[in-house]
Amino acid sequence: MILLKNPGDSMSYRVYVDSIGTASISSASFTATGLTFGTAVPDNTTTPKSVVVPVSGGAHGQLFQGLGSFTLDSGGPLVRPITVRIFNS
């Protein structure tokens, strides 16, 4: 997944998590060196299920590779790659 954000903005993004069947997301966290991620809030009412996470940091033209780690109520951990591109709109 690729998230786009303006430099200097702190924005919340909805990150959809597919292929988890009937499982619900209990919690999630995100990491990418050079960015700051706030507390991720699961939303199990969407299809596919999702989390909303605030992101801040970065400068125009930067590209960040990171990971999203999701804990499912079925007990299984799930890790997905994320990409965040900083872009002046």
DSSP for 31-88 reads E-TT-EE---EEETTSSSEEEEEEEE---TT-EEEEEEEEEETTS-EEEEEEEEEE--
CATH code: domain 2-86 is 2.60.40.10
Residue 14 to residue 16: CA distance in whole angstroms: 6
Residue 1, pLDDT score: 61
Supply the pTM of this predicted model: 0.87
Return averaged pLDDT per consecutive 10 residues of the chain, 89 residues in all: 76 91 95 95 94 92 94 91 86
Residue 80, pLDDT score: 94
Please check whether residue 63 is in contact with residue 83, taking contact to mean a CB–CB distance below 8 angstroms: yes
Residue 6, pLDDT score: 76
What are the beta bridge partners of residue 31? 67
* Residue written as token pair 């954000």: 5
